[in-house]
Structure 1
Amino acid sequence: MENSKLIFVAPYLALGCALYFIALVIYRLYFSPVAHFPGSKLTAATGWIETYYDVFKGGQFTFQLQKWHEQYGPIIRINPDEIHVSDPDFYDVAYASSAPFEKMPKWRDRFGLPGAVQSTVQHELHRSRRMTLNPHFSKKAISNFSWFIQQRMDQLCDRLLREFKDSGEVVTLNDAWGAVTADIIINYCLGFDYNFVGYPGFVAPFTRSIKELALSVHIAGHFPWFLKLLQSSPDWLVGLLNPGMKPVFNFQNEIKKQITIIKESDHEKHSTERHKTVFADILSSNLPRQEKTVARLQDEATGVVAAAIETTKTTLSVASFHILHNPGILRRLRIEWREAIFSDPEKPTCYGVAQRLPRVSKYKAIQYDTYSIPPNTPFSMSSYIQHTSSVFNDCFSFSPDRWLTTAKVASAPGREEKSLDRFFVPFSKGTRWCLGQNLAWAQLYIGLSALFRRVDLELFETEPEAISSAREYFITLPPPETKGIRVIVK
């Protein structure tokens, strides 16, 4: 009897679901508040197109956006809900410092860190969390910590000269820079020193796990239930379902352990003689109790540490390749560095966070040309698309001289000319600009000048493909078969 009822009801359920999805597609295509925006009808009808390019095509959605812009224009609809803009002049509007924009809610779990400041949706809560962190990442605070950055860079150079000089042994700079940046950010934030720079071949499981965390971003973003399933599963099941996530969870558990140690002991013990560590200070602050739980601070610390390692490591690696690949530029740099400890460096040769950064204006429409983006409609831009626009002439060439000219450029014919710096946004802008910008600059200044003043390196079987932008997983990555920026010490 039960089976016969089910057989009788099933066709009606199937028909109801079909009619619902047909009605949903019709609404999205013709009656949605953003139905009039240009773009592919397929992407307007379903978010599965984004999932296809992100997950199944391996981090290709950002590059597909660029193709759609070429086809449909500077403002397009990229899924049923979101508008994307490719216009360098619009960046100051999309990421205005005075605008109380919120984050797109469904991006909160993109890294599985809902308590982290970069995952915080509400403007006021984000502002409160940032106000606690900001003083630790000011220019003055980072300047006071520069002694440790220099010390760790000297340790890296000493080891390269002592163990690798004239040995013919290959060093992968991606790993070396990863070890340095991990040592710096972990010591600064938590007061612990793992001495990753001393690991064999500079390969530390902790730093390798950060890359796995980045590679998980699209699966976590499109299938948050899967990440939650893995987080609640035993190790053996994680190894079976997604082996790449095991080091990520090990990394998060290590962060949790360190936060617990700081929380349960005297906070001041986890501040060095020269600086008070970030999370010891947070635990001593007057933040509400719920903001100082181990779970919340675990998310915060994981987010800060992971973002600082992967972005800075990649930029340092790409810059190293370009410097070594262009002997004339290397010679010029060495002459300048001999005349001064280091001169103002050229701009980074990387894009920072390449993934688009959606924002939501809750109460006010955002105007772009003749288009009005309705309130509560996510809109976004991409650092990668910004820096590969026509504003940056011959954008894929390493041309430091572009920053030495005072000439101004216009983003389009007839528009106001601006300094090229105005379009340079690897750290984003607005209320959610990159927290670690000053720390990243310090590592670029000190790291590159120390390495190339002291150590004579030569590229080993490394072609430009090793720094190409073939995939987007939070940052841009080269094809998976590349082996990194490899060098020998002469």
Structure 2
Amino acid sequence: MYSFLDDPLSATLAAGLAALAYLSSLAVYRLYFHELVRFPGPKLAALSKWYDFYYDVYLKGQFVFKLQELHDQYGPIIRIAPDELHISDPDFYVEFFTKQGPQSKYAWAANRFNNGTSVFATVPPDHHKLRRRPLEPMFARAQIRQLLPTLQEKIAKMLTKFRTYQAGGQVLRLDRACVALSEDMIFEYGFGICREALDKPDFKDPLHEVLVQAGAAGVLSLHFPILPEDYQRAARFALQDDENIKSRNPKAHRTVMLDLLNDAELPPSEKTARRHLDEAQAVIGAGLSTTGWAATVGIYHILANPAIVARLRDELYTMMPRGAKREDCTDLDWVALEALPYLQASIRECLRLSYGMSARNSSVTHKEVMYTESAQYAALPPNGSDSDSDNKRPSQGRTWHIPAYTPVSMSIPLVNHNEHVFPNSHTFNPDRWLGPNKVPERYFVSFSKGTRMCLGMQLAWAELSLMLAGLVRWFDFELYETDARSVKMGSDVTIPVPASNDGVWTKVKAELD
């Protein structure tokens, strides 16, 4: 018996009509019947994640800026995908990530780097807790203090190299120097090896560039999961044995990966080769580019403001007076540096303007979330411009009921540039963290908050304290053909990428006594 499906043309037409019917019904459901339909936002975002794809892939990392535009239009809570909400409200950041009970990682966003067994990408909260537990002691403050001799050794090597630039009148690319120090530090602590990035000519090492490229591939892999092997290749490149990697074992200090391997409480399933490769990727990515970038951002802004340099140096003189210099940098004592309020406030500004992770933090709560718009939005008039009046910005102070298991995201750059909390937010101003009217601690979110906040906070803080103190106290720099575009985020590839890739260039004018 004849069937029209036996005709290839008819079969193709039938398949096309079926696909069209499915897509049409899906569009109707998402626009009019989905449980998130009452939340404001652009219709195109409610229809498809292709909205996100357009800004982050086609326009190369621009969605973080589009988010700010959308919040300016629609208010503090918006629907940015068929199933995802985004909130821009600094007062709710801590509330959401610390007080809403168990949270899962948003699976769609978690495995962008194809390292799904790492702590960073683990979705279920209980499994995340299991994997994070053995790492927490390795990044605790007491353990980081044991690393200070190693860090002082790295700082001393960097400053010694600066002397050659000063003596030869050469121009120094300071951003590469900062990343090189972070690279050598994280490899030595993470794996007991050193890539000797500080020894390379002009501190030039391809690893940071590889990680940036891998980050861009990771953004693409959110939409096309077949692609994220690029990040695996980046990790293997980082760990390969070549003439630039010198074994430093046995080390006096412990190493992250060896401790993880030897943890007696972890089951064998958590000690596979893939598990360790995934965690190695996360350790490298989190410990290298983020801290080096924070130091770069801070040093640029400090050097661009002579008054800040002078104030920092005067404070450092109280701890390291003139004529008492130690070539091995053992006078750079982290505990003593923590007692210098202006230095610590400057580090907070380094971290605020470098963001840590620029991609939005997404989480899924296991219960309904109630979000009430904070007071700062009450003074702002509704200004939604969508042709559908129901999609315009609602009256201020409204309480929203977010359904359980809804992915909710918040973005560190949007918190750090909220003008109600940080007036003139793009200005490097350490004083905003000092005095009786200082910014409250709850708004410091560069390491995020809650059970999934960055493990490496203490290591980053130690590196930044010693790096900034060493550079400002012992050398006088002058920026060379460099402007703010070299440290201002121009795109988001999970980590921020500057608007200009020309780097931060300086002249080493003098070594101070």
Cα deviations across residues 139-173 of structure 1 (Å, max 9, x unaligned)? 10001111111110110001111x21143322211
Cα deviations across residues 33-76 of structure 1 (Å, max 9, x unaligned)? 11111111111011100000000001011111110111011111
Task: Find the partner of 1:355 among 359, 383, 402.
Answer: 359
2:435 equivalent in structure 1: 405
Cα deviations across residues 292-325 of structure 1 (Å, max 9, x unaligned)? 1111111101111111111111110010101110
Partner amino acid, structure 2, of 1:281: D
1:252 equivalent in structure 2: 235
The answer on whether the counterparts of 1:354 and 1:384 sit within 8 Å (CA) in structure 2 is yes
2:131 is the alignment partner of 1:148: no
1:263 equivalent in structure 2: none
1:411 equivalent in structure 2: none
2:467 is the alignment partner of 1:467: no
Task: Find the partner of 2:61 among 36, 59, 62.
Answer: 59
For 1:171, what is the secondary structure of its paired residue? strand
Task: Output the TM-score relative to the length of structure 2.
Answer: 0.84
2:137 is the alignment partner of 1:130: no
Task: Find the partner of 1:442 among 452, 455, 462.
Answer: 462
After TM superposition, the structure 1 = structure 2 runs for residues 198-347 of structure 1, keeping only pairs within 5 Å, are: 198-227=199-228, 231=229, 245=230, 249-254=232-237, 270=249, 272-273=251-252, 275-286=253-264, 287-341=266-320, 342=337, 343-344=340-341, 345-346=344-345, 347=348
Q: Equivalents in 2 of 1:29, 1:318: separation in Å?
A: 42
Partner amino acid, structure 2, of 1:223: F
Change (3 A) 1:102 1:250: closer
Q: Equivalents in 2 of 1:254, 1:466: separation in Å?
A: 27
Shift of 1:113: 1.3
1:237 equivalent in structure 2: none
After TM superposition, the structure 1 = structure 2 runs for residues 168-179 of structure 1, keeping only pairs within 5 Å, are: 168-179=169-180
1:30 equivalent in structure 2: 32
2:117 is the alignment partner of 1:87: no
Shift of 1:132: 0.8
Shift of 1:97: 6.0
Change (3 A) 1:97 1:280: farther
Q: Equivalents in 2 of 1:289, 1:255: separation in Å?
A: 26
Q: Equivalents in 1 of 2:503, 2:303: separation in Å?
A: 14
Shift of 1:98: 6.8
Judge which range, 343-352 or 292-301, deviates more: 343-352
Shift of 1:271: 5.2
Change (3 A) 1:179 1:97: farther
Partner amino acid, structure 2, of 1:392: F
Partner amino acid, structure 2, of 1:135: P
Change (3 A) 1:123 1:320: same
2:407 is the alignment partner of 1:424: no
2:504 is the alignment partner of 1:485: yes
2:406 equivalent in structure 1: 377
Q: Which runs of 5+ in 2 are unaligned?
A: 242-247, 321-336, 373-398
The answer on whether the counterparts of 1:271 and 1:277 sit within 8 Å (CA) in structure 2 is no
Task: Find the partner of 1:368 among 359, 362, 371.
Answer: 371
Cα deviations across residues 412-460 of structure 1 (Å, max 9, x unaligned)? xxxxxxx432211000000000010000000110111011111221111
The answer on whether the counterparts of 1:186 and 1:192 sit within 8 Å (CA) in structure 2 is yes
2:396 is the alignment partner of 1:396: no
Q: Equivalents in 2 of 1:256, 1:457: separation in Å?
A: 34
1:190 equivalent in structure 2: 191
Q: Equivalents in 2 of 1:158, 1:250: separation in Å?
A: 33
Cα deviations across residues 88-135 of structure 1 (Å, max 9, x unaligned)? 110122210672111001123212211211011010111011101000
Q: Equivalents in 1 of 2:227, 2:494: separation in Å?
A: 19
Shift of 1:214: 2.2
Q: Equivalents in 1 of 2:23, 2:215: separation in Å?
A: 33
For 1:358, what is the secondary structure of its paired residue? strand
Partner amino acid, structure 2, of 1:472: D
For 1:132, what is the secondary structure of its paired residue? coil
The answer on whether the counterparts of 1:367 and 1:373 sit within 8 Å (CA) in structure 2 is yes
The answer on whether the counterparts of 1:271 and 1:280 sit within 8 Å (CA) in structure 2 is no
Aligned residues: 448
For 2:506, what is the secondary structure of its paired residue? strand
Change (3 A) 1:271 1:134: farther
Q: Equivalents in 2 of 1:5, 1:284: separation in Å?
A: 64
Q: Equivalents in 2 of 1:321, 1:460: separation in Å?
A: 11
Shift of 1:476: 2.2
The answer on whether the counterparts of 1:361 and 1:378 sit within 8 Å (CA) in structure 2 is yes
Task: Output the TM-score relative to the length of structure 1.
Answer: 0.88
Q: Equivalents in 2 of 1:382, 1:249: separation in Å?
A: 26
Q: Equivalents in 1 of 2:284, 2:59: separation in Å?
A: 28
Q: Equivalents in 2 of 1:91, 1:3: separation in Å?
A: 55
The answer on whether the counterparts of 1:270 and 1:280 sit within 8 Å (CA) in structure 2 is no
Change (3 A) 1:90 1:251: same
Alpha-carbon RMSD: 1.9
The answer on whether the counterparts of 1:468 and 1:478 sit within 8 Å (CA) in structure 2 is yes
Q: Equivalents in 1 of 2:226, 2:234: separation in Å?
A: 20
For 2:370, what is the secondary structure of its paired residue? strand
Partner amino acid, structure 2, of 1:193: C
Q: Which runs of 5+ in 1 are unaligned?
A: 232-244, 259-268, 409-418
Q: Equivalents in 2 of 1:249, 1:95: separation in Å?
A: 29
Change (3 A) 1:3 1:33: closer
